[in-house]
Structure formats: structure tokens, C-alpha cells
Structure 1
């Protein structure tokens, strides 16, 4: 699904933001890329998507859907027109309309489907980005900070749909600093700080790396970061 081998990368030739980031995401896996703000999570994602001007490394990624932290949309298109454009671009079958209506219902956006996204609140824009991703039915989802701006009901609905997609066989790379939620829903964790991958594995492996058996992901992350940058 996704293979990442980044030796170094950054926005300027003489400036390295991330180094030695190696990981993979397999079919049906939900993997969390975690770290504090400014740790290098979003830069890593940009490297995966080929959006960095300077990168030494290799990335292999299959058919994917990317949900950015800051919604990207066309001011002059309504939500439904965004869905129509996606369907045409991806050459989706006619059943896409039925799926689109289901997504509108799940996210309680039926009444807003013919409105321009520029008129939406932050949370509504985030819902729109998620709906477009789910409509695409990719092999892997790359989602950057999805919980920002979502109300608790929308978070619940998002996680239910994500689980359904995993059962379909889709992989998920979830970039977040909401560690309690990540610990609850993810199978593996990639701990990033100052642009470097400090630890990876399931919660037991992370606890062992932190020498904190039975402790929370937050406690383990804090311990590993402090130990590496004391």
C-alpha cells in the first residue's frame, strides 16, 4: 500500500526538515503518525505526496485519497458539484450518487449539498473533505489532523466509516497529535519529533521503547522525546 524511505527532505536545498523516516502501511492497517505541532508530521506527508522541492528518498504509494489539515476546494463549486467533479475525474460508476447521498446523510450535510464550500464553517469544510475521500474509495487514506474542527458526532461517524473502509481492505495513515484517540483506534504508531522517527510499533513496542510498561501513549511519547533530546 505505502512504502516510505526518506533519508532527508525539506523546503530549501540547504535546510533539512525530516531525516531517516522509514515505514510502511499495509492493506487494512490503521497507522498513526504522531507528534507535537511542528514535529514534522505534515512535512512527512508532503514528502509522501511529492510536494517537497528537495527530497532524498523513495516512496511507493498506491491509489490514495489525501485529506489535508487545511481544506482545499473550489470557491465557485457547490459541495455536490465537487462530488460530481470527483466522480468524473475518477471515472466512478453511476452508483457514486447513491454513495454520495449516504455520506451526506451520515455527516448531516443534506441541506448544504448545493451551497458553496466557501460559505461553510471550518467543521463543515472538514466534513466535505472527508466525504470526498470516502467517495473516491482509494486503496489507502492519508489523513492529516482529521479531528480538528469536527464535533464529537462527526468524529464518531468518521471513525465508523474508517473502520468500514479498513474491512474493505484500505490502509490508513492518520496524522494526528490527539494521542488518546490514536491510542484507542490505531494498531501501530510512528513517533516523530524534530523531523526524525524516534520509535514505531504497536502500543506494547512503544511502551518497551519508553521503558514504561502499561503506560499511556502520551506518557510513552513524552518519555521517548525527553530521553532523545535531554
Structure 2
């Protein structure tokens, strides 16, 4: 089943951003939503997580419509924002308790999973730290632990590699692949196309709030005379196309 976006139009008050956007992320599929700044990626994600309400269209996850059952819909999502969101007065352990309690899975099994992730990201000895003591990279790792411990049917990751060292980036890719192997859907955004091409199933290209392309990394590269290794040049080509049109 997975995530199904059908003919979504929407945006912010007085600013319509998305125009008839449709795509799907099937169970076990890893999809990267890409485009230049302002293309509508963040707006799309904000509609999916329920922060924005579409002017028209439907958003469904595993046969649950966001508009009809928002709580049931959102309970299926684990979300990692581009910028970490932490509460200054809560320790790392309290953040994890809060997340698990919100999903009603604060139990021994999920905490076992959480400790595995804490060790992976070298945070196991920092459970009583407050966010003020965390570096930017460590804050991002806290968000990663909080999301991956949920094993949610849909994982949404906004720029997963931002602020992470090379080792942590490799760990994130492995964890994303593990989510897909479990049958969970993964939707991510990234500007590192050549790196993403090694593990995503398809790219969705957004431009000025409309879907311009849906297909495999190889299909995207072939369509623009690129190889998978130099797929990062795709954004340069987009810039050139926009300048030519202007």
C-alpha cells in the first residue's frame, strides 16, 4: 500500500506552492524528492505530516486518509526534519521517552532498539545530557535515534546527511535500507544525487510546485545525458534551463 499523494495543490496563506502534485511511495520503497530551492519539497513534506492543509487533493498512508483520521495517519510516521528540534529542558533520555509515549510503544522492546541506535551513534553515555551540551551533529543524531527506533511504516527524512560525519552518513544509509527491507516506505529529500543514486529506488523531481519527472536514478541520468557518478550536475542543468527560459 504505502503513501499515496493524489492531485495535491496547496501552500501557505496567500501563496499557492504545489500544483496538482501526485506520486506514490510503495511499501519497501526508497524515494528521493529532489529539486532546486523553492521547488516545493518542504511544502510537500509539511502537507504529508499534517502541518499544512491542502487546498485540494488527498493524502493516504496504508488506506488511512490524513483528512479523515489525522491521528491514525500521523501515528504511522517517523519524521526527521532538516534542522533538529529539541526541547531545552529535556534530557536525551526524556526526549526518547516522550517520543515513545506519543506513539504508545514505551516498552522494553523499543528501548532495546533505542539503545542499539544510541551505541551506533555514540550517544549511549549521554542519556542525561541536555540539548545545550550537544553539537549540531549530535543533535541530528538524537533525531535519527528518535525516528529509527519507531520502525514506523513511513520514514520521512529531510536532508539526512546534513551535519553528519562520513561514518554517520554510512550508518544512516544502512538504516534506511533496513527500513525498506522491513517493508516500510521511505521518503527523503537530498541535494547529494550521486550518493542517493546508490540506494534510492526512484527520484521525483519537483519544479515550481509541479512534478517534472518520476523514475529510477538511471532513467534520470539518461534523460539528461549524465551518468550516475556525475548526477549532481543535474542541478546545474536545471539552473541553465531556467536561465534560458528567462
Is this a same-fold pair by TM over 0.5? yes
SS at match of 1:113: coil
Q: Distance in 2 between matches of 1:170 and 1:53?
A: 24
TM-aligned CA deviation for residue 192 of structure 1: 1.3
Pick which of 181-190 and 111-120 moved more.
111-120
Change over 3 Å in CA distance of 1:225–1:209 after alignment to 2: farther
Which residues in structure 2 correspond to 1:193-208 (within 5 Å)?
193-208=207-222
Q: Which runs of 5 or more structure 1 residues have no equivalent in the other structure?
A: none
Q: Which residue in the other structure is 2:55 paired with?
A: 55
Instruction: Describe the superposition over 1:41-88 as per-residue Cα deviations: whole angstroms up to 9, x where unpaired.
Output: 111101112212553221112411111112122221111111122222
User: How many positions carry a matched residue from both structures?
Assistant: 228
TM-aligned CA deviation for residue 109 of structure 1: 0.8
Q: Which runs of 5 or more structure 2 residues have no equivalent in the other structure?
A: 63-75
SS at match of 1:156: helix
Change over 3 Å in CA distance of 1:6–1:115 after alignment to 2: farther
Q: Which residue in the other structure is 1:123 paired with?
A: 137
Aligned match for 1:144, one of 148, 158, 182: 158
Matched, 1:168 2:168: no
Instruction: Describe the superposition over 1:96-143 as per-residue Cα deviations: whole angstroms up to 9, x where unpaired.
Output: 221111111000112222101233111111111110011111001011
When normalised by structure 1's length, the TM-score is 0.90
SS at match of 2:163: coil
Instruction: Describe the superposition over 1:142-186 as per-residue Cα deviations: whole angstroms up to 9, x where unpaired.
Output: 111111111111111111111122111111001111212211221
Q: Distance in 2 between matches of 1:58 and 1:76?
A: 37
Alignment RMSD (CA, Å): 2.0
Aligned match for 2:114, one of 100, 119, 126: 100
Matched, 1:89 2:102: yes
TM-aligned CA deviation for residue 217 of structure 1: 2.8
